[in-house]
Structure 1
Amino acid sequence: MASQTLYLYTATALAVLTTVLALRRKREPPRQQPAPKPHPLASVPSEQLPEYIQSLLAKLPNCVILQSDIAAFQQAVDGSWAQPNRKIIPACIVRPCDAQQLGTAVAILKREQDRRGQAGVPVAGFFAIRSGGVNPGLGASTVRDGVVVDLSKFCEVVPAVDGSTVTVGTGAKWIDVYKRLDEEGLVVIGGRNSPVGVGGLTLQGGISFYSPRFGFVCSNAVSYEIVLANGSVVTASASSHPALWRVLKGGSSNFGIVTRFTLRSLPSAPLWAAQIIAPASFQHAKAIKAYHDYLSHASSGQPGAFDENAAGPIMSFVYVQKIGLKLISINLVYTKAPENKQWPFHWKETGFPSLWSFKRSHAVESHTTAVERFGRTAPPGTRYTMGTTTIRNDAETMRAAYAIFCQTTTELRHVKGLLFPFVFQTILPGWANKGDPNILGLEGCTEPLIIINCAVMWANAKDDELVRSAVRRTLEQVDAAAVARRADHPYRFMNYCMEWQRPYKGCGEENVKLMREASQKYDPDGLFQNGCTGGFRLDFSS
């Protein structure tokens, strides 16, 4: 199930990109888009398709999209946000309309797993689950020559009568959720990115503007409707299947397919949001110091140092190949907008306002507007990748990480269309464990942690491996620098992890034990461990 949240392509980088694309469109005549080419399987008669696909067709005739329906199939394939994943072509796409249809599809997939096991045929990775499809990890929500279970029909947004909760379909986009809730004067503790799907973000952790008040997004899910490996549909909550309920808070798609979440909600109110854009050439050291000092103070325990209305500050160093410059973007949010609409005292007293900048802005706006403006990802159909690591709040390690970023962008300076944000975000001990218990492994969090993530975009397929390997090497070098300074931390924010990362290693032995037990109880034959590709699987080897 595709993750995603917060692929923080900063507003700075996106503004530059938009300008470049607009100029290019003015110079170049419009090009005719080639018609989609049929896959070799498109010419195979339906009766010669694999037996399990024939079963899907027989049981769910209106839910299966075959390659022979070229236009509909291409449109469905384009549900994957990143261009490289659109080149991983499945045999068919199944798009169920309700949990019962999904249960039927899962039961057929389970029979195929059993058949393969009995025949000695490899079981690994013959289907994938797609919620929003934004995660750029290779094969995150698609599979070559297998079945993609597309959850886009699960997109309802239904507030409770008393307004305390909202039931949201797993395939809904966060921006659509917020727009619907605007009509009710409500908001949920949810993602900060417009196109990201609800499912992946909520199951893998998720950070909200409201996390300082309520914790991770996953810790604010009251219940889950989930289809299990045997095709049955159950509701997991604190009182019904509580062990399953617990591991779904960070355990991703290891236990079944969640169709609906019931999320805590609260009355919506305007936010205060600001952005500072500065040159990195002579302001990076001051920006790093301001960020480090803020985290130190906010976690000091001094009266008033931690403010639950202050969303975690986001500091991005952005290299833009087109202009050959590195910029700094500082994004600040305060969820209790001051009446005078000026800088809240909490942010005014930090080192951020004193940064020399060539652009700064602040505004009081709705939550929906803030998400539309502030939280964006790469445009659909572009080439991009991500990756993440975690360090402690150590100034020397932060400076070393910035130097590593600079070295990487120097090596990649000839990559056409390169846009390389290197982003710092924070988890404060004041909110790490608010809300319901989760399995993220931060129960003993007593110090601020910094999530570092790369979110890189480029233009040409020939640079795919170069850029991907550079991102991985950059993060490995940051890890080494952190280890050398004893500033490393095992936690990995799963929403930003790529296919080569192993986030469960940072969850702690007890949480991994809980997940293994739940998997063995609810998926004893390992359908989601073995048959499902993408996401992150539990390690049963130890």
Structure 2
Amino acid sequence: MENEPERPELAESCAAGIPYSLFTIMASQAFYSFTVVAFVVLTSILMLRQRLASSGQQPATKLHPLKSVPPEQLPKLIQSLLAELPGCVILQADAAAFQEAVDYSWAQQNREIIPACIVRPCNAQQLGKAVTILKLEHDRRSHAGASAAGFFTIRSGGANPGLGASTVQDGVVIDLSLFRDVTPAVDGSTVTVGTGAKWLDVYQALDKKGLTVMGGRSPPIGVGGLTLQGGISFYSPKFGFVCSNVVSYEVVLANGNVVVASASEHPELWRVLKGGSNNFGIVTRFTLRSMPSAPVWVGQMFAPAAFQQAKALKVFHDYVNHASSSQPGGFDENAAGPILSFVYVQSLPLQLIALHLVYTEAPDDKNWPVYWRATGFASLWSFYRSSEVQSHTSAVEHIGRSAPAGTRHMQATTTIRNHAETMKAAYDIFCHTTTKLRHVKGLLFPFTFQAILPAWMNKGHPNVLGLDGCTEPLIILNCSVTWAEAKDDELVRSTIRHTLERIDAAAAARQSDHPYRFMNYCMEFQRPYEGCGEENLKLMRETSQKYDPDGLFQRGLAGGFKLDITHKT
């Protein structure tokens, strides 16, 4: 029972690229047989265009009383920011503007962390002034013996659901949302992008110029976080990680100075920013490699997991083996990595398989490209599948959205080798986890498999991800969980953490574990730099001490993954 609607609108979806609205609609029905499931799903898909046309960010919910404090009673740090940056500081007293700024964070749990103020600079010079003031406060606290830990944070896109990833209770949030310019070079070879831009906005602006860039596969994701932590694109098989395609960075250092880091200027800083995140300064702009925009082919399919979960795992495993081999037709740089997800929908309860494929050199029609037809994915049975050629922007917009803004959401990750028994063990642990969480209201739980292939993992400029000596394929496993109520926060978070620990133990027992962690999916408790290798870690620590000798971004900055450097006090 297959169908190919001419153009299904799948606008709300999970972080791994699975249509969120599809599962939301399914969750609202009472399904007593598979026939009913298929019928309702297909009918619902055809109705999505109208229903989603007006959908978007959920309205803000004011959960905390905000403080109205006279300026002279504000802490000296905030008074200094107000004096040096008039018009850039949003105080709690300005309730409407402050609430709007707080709700810029995507995940609801981060909207409930209330800072003392939000600083929104308009340019690198204003940001430099803000950093200078923060550095003075950091030094004052350090010299006074007071804690300088985590009193400010940096927010670019605000989409990271990690708890406190880009906000801080009673501290200062540096909001980079005004750094969202998109400026192509005259010859079209590069594009300079502000760190606060969202990827969808970047793609839409470049469509008018006939260009595109390597970037995120989900519209809410901001440029800054994804690019500094690694980033995978539909074009990664051709060019590598997103971070390895950055030509230069504009950076505000801990002393407030603005520098450009490139292969010829501050080359060690240029190198460590390719995966080193926010440990060295605040990047305001990225100059990225660009390419002519062209249509891409996108295919999706959905099926009940109970019918063929074992086959789906085998197909994925066999595909990764073949794509990593030297056999004819194995690796194709136009084939974006397949995204295979097992999705548990609590309110059915039902587990589905979702498969997402992209081919960046689109065929003349919407039929499957020859490369994908030759894989086992084409033989998977499904109750729904779609296949269409569309722009890169449309592909991201329609099939790559994350859980809706304002929902409780988290994700966490680990990495294994392409080992069939370990994949099966990880899937079984996922199933056990869904049993433990089956009473969590509104639970939607995609467990996703994605591959990093040796043919592309080291393309582009050198980075500090630690994969330069890797000659085998790796599989990123991602838990991406959405739920409804705050009372379940701790249960969900602790359960997912334990799930990852069990998967890691199962992989280690089979000698199929791997230290690399895809930082873009890491939870705040994880330690991704442990997988970067001693040489890269040494380079990052030395560069941090050179450009930030007093540790402003190691101690004063809340959020992000640290390098465990001991600085002078």
TM-score range, shorter chain: over 0.9
Q: CA deviation at 1:45?
A: 1.5
Matched, 1:517 2:535: no
Measured at CA, do residues 36 and 351 of structure 1 come closer, stay the same or move farther in structure 2, by a change above 3 Å?
closer
Alignment match of 1:485 (pick from 475, 490, 510): 510
Q: CA deviation at 1:52?
A: 1.2
Q: Distance in 2 between matches of 1:102 and 1:162?
A: 30
Tell whether 2:153 aligns with 1:95: no
Q: Choose which of 216, 220, 225 in structure 2 pairs with 1:195.
A: 220
1:11 matched to 2:18? The reply is yes
How far apart are the structure 2 equivalents of 1:176 and 1:238? 28
Larger deviation, residues 224-233 vs 48-57: 48-57
Q: Which moved more, 1:227-236 or 1:354-363?
A: 354-363
The secondary structure found in structure 2 opposite 1:389 is strand
Work out whether 1:213 is the aligned partner of 2:238.
Answer: yes
Task: Determine if contact 2:14/2:446 at 8 Å carries over to the other structure.
Answer: no
Q: In 2, Cα distance between the equivalents of 1:312 and 1:171?
A: 27
Provide Cα deviations, 1:68-106, integer angstroms capped at 9, x if missing partner.
Answer: 000000000001111111111100000000000000000
Deviation of 1:426 (Å): 0.7
1:38 aligns with 2:40: no
Equivalence for 2:146 = 121
Q: Which residue of 1 aligns with 2:349?
A: 324
Q: Whole-Å Cα distance in 2 between the matches of residues 238 and 7 of structure 1?
A: 37
Contact 2:153 2:559 in 1 (8 A): yes
Aligned twin of 2:337? 312
Whole-angstrom CA distance in 1 between matches of 2:362 and 2:199: 22
Q: CA RMSD in A?
A: 1.8
What TM-score does the superposition give when structure 2 sets the normalisation length?
0.91
Q: Distance in 2 between matches of 1:70 and 1:120?
A: 34
2:109 aligned partner: 84
Corresponding residue number in structure 2 for 1:176: 201
Deviations 1:32-82, CA, capped at 9 Å, x for gaps? 98766533xx23221111111100000001000000000000000001111
CA contact (8 A) 1:204 1:494 kept: yes
Instruction: Measure, in 2, the Cα distance between the counterparts of 1:33 and 1:412.
Output: 27
**Equivalent position of 1:339 in the other structure:** 364
Name the CA shift for 1:342/1:149 in 2 (closer, same or farther; >3 Å). Answer: same
Q: Which residue of 1 aligns with 2:47?
A: none
- 2: distance between equivalents of 1:195 and 1:188? 16
> After alignment, is 295-304 or 324-333 more displaced?
295-304
Paired position in structure 1 for 2:54? none
Secondary structure of the residue that 1:166 maps to in structure 2? Answer: strand
For residue 278 of structure 1, report the CA deviation from its aligned partner: 1.1
Aligned sequence identity (%) = 71
Structure 1 residues 316 and 58, CA gap change in structure 2 (3 angstroms): same
Give the drift of 1:12.
Answer: 4.0
Does 2:181 correspond to 1:156?
yes
Instruction: Name the counterpart of 2:403.
Output: 378
CA distance in 2, matches of 1:122, 1:33: 33
Give the 5 Å matches for 1:441-520.
441-520=466-545
Alignment match, 1:403: 428
Aligned-partner Cα distance in 2 for 1:401–1:33: 37
8 Å CA contact 1:10–1:329 kept in 2: the answer is: no
CA distance in 2, matches of 1:155, 1:32: 23
Partner of 1:425: 450
Residue type at the aligned position of 1:320: V
Partner SS, residue 455 of structure 1: strand
Q: Residue 211 of structure 2 contacts residue 291 of structure 2 at CA under 8 Å; is this kept in 1?
A: yes
What do the CA deviations read for 1:369-402 (whole angstroms, capped 9, x no partner)? 0001121111111001110000000000000010
Between the aligned partners of 1:396 and 1:14, the Cα distance in structure 2 is 33
Contact 2:279 2:563 in 1 (8 A): yes
- Contact preservation (8 Å) 2:62, 2:99: no
- What residue in structure 2 maps to residue 107 of structure 1? 132
Q: Secondary structure at the match of 2:410?
A: strand
TM-score using structure 1 length: 0.95
Alignment correspondent of 1:229: 254
Q: Is the 8 A contact 2:300 2:387 kept in 1?
A: yes
Alpha-carbon deviations, 1:158-185, whole Å to 9, x = none?
1111110000000000000000000001
CA distance in 2, matches of 1:536, 1:251: 9
Measured against aligned partners, the alpha-carbon deviations of 1:224-250 in whole angstroms (never above 9, x if no partner) come to 000000000000000000000000000
Deviations 1:271-313 (CA, angstroms, capped at 9, x unpaired): 0010111110021000000000000001011233110000000
Regions of 4+ moved over 4 Å: 18-23, 31-37
**1:9: how far off?**
4.6
- Unpaired segments ≥5 residues, structure 2: 1-12, 30-43, 45-50, 52-57
Worse-matched range after superposition: 387-396 or 6-15:
6-15
Q: What secondary structure sits across from 2:376 in the alignment?
A: coil
